[in-house]
Amino acid sequence: MPDLSPTPAGLFKDDHQTLRCVWCRATPEYQRYHDTEWGFPVHDDTRLFEKICLEGFQAGLSWLTILNKREGFRQAFEGFDIDRVAALGEADIARLLLNPGIVRHRGKIASTLNNARRAQALRDEFGSLAAYFWRFEPPAGSRPETITSLSLQGLTTSAESVALSKDLKKRGWSFVGPTTMYAFMQAMGLVNDHLEGCHARPLALARRAAIG
């Protein structure tokens, strides 16, 4: 018998009565991303570098557009291997501008190459990108006690995303504004913005707790 109880604001219920954040409703691939990646803590440097680059490419676009091209981006940018991307140059930018599998924006492509070199410097200083980025995880007490569509309304930056953006810019990174960095923090699990009632929220919380 179908569950006829009202669906909380900001969530939707699929045919199996599973509750998810409504932003991923558009496609099954978007829902898989929501269920298995978004908000789950990441400590792998390649994935962190990939996501910060793709967040830069997203500027002015939807994440679904970028997600649909993610495999194309991975092929174009050497699997987001930091050292291999850092070795690319002007000829590669010209080549990538002809690649229909990615967003062909010269500034964003050049930024990816620049940021790879900046990532090498961060890795040298902190030992890993993870060690650097997780310094900006907000203290638990600074977050809303209950994550609802209302508590997140208009929340596109935080004190930590502003600080992260400022520090990265000082280090020479580009396309790393505070809103972009908050989206990065949401996706990489530095904050868990799955809404209360979303089936993925406790899974992401458990993954974070397991890390310690």
The answer to whether 48 touches 133, Cβ cutoff 8 Å, is yes
Q: Regarding the domain delimited by 43-192, which CATH topology (the fold level of the hierarchy) does it fall under? A: Endonuclease III; domain 1 (1.10.340)
The catalytically annotated residue of 23, 33, 137, 196 is 33
The answer to whether 24 touches 208, Cβ cutoff 8 Å, is no
The catalytically annotated residue of 23, 37, 63, 78 is 63
Identify whether 90 is a catalytic site residue.
no
3-state secondary structure of 21: strand
Could you tell me which of 34, 69, 32 has the C-alpha nearest to residue 50?
69
Identify whether 63 is a catalytic site residue.
yes
| Per-residue model confidence as pLDDT tens for the chain (212 residues) | 455 577 888 999 988 889 999 999 999 999 999 999 999 999 999 999 999 999 999 998 999 999 999 999 999 999 999 999 999 999 999 999 999 999 999 999 999 999 999 999 999 999 999 999 999 999 988 888 889 988 888 889 999 999 999 999 999 999 999 999 999 999 999 999 999 999 999 999 999 999 87
The answer to whether 97 touches 104, Cβ cutoff 8 Å, is yes
Place of tokens 């208009």: 154
The catalytically annotated residue of 30, 38, 50, 55 is 55
The answer to whether 112 touches 89, Cβ cutoff 8 Å, is no
Domain boundaries, the chain: 43-192
Task: Round to whole Å and give the CA distance between 77 and 71.
Answer: 10
Identify whether 55 is a catalytic site residue.
yes
Task: Round to whole Å and give the CA distance between 83 and 113.
Answer: 10
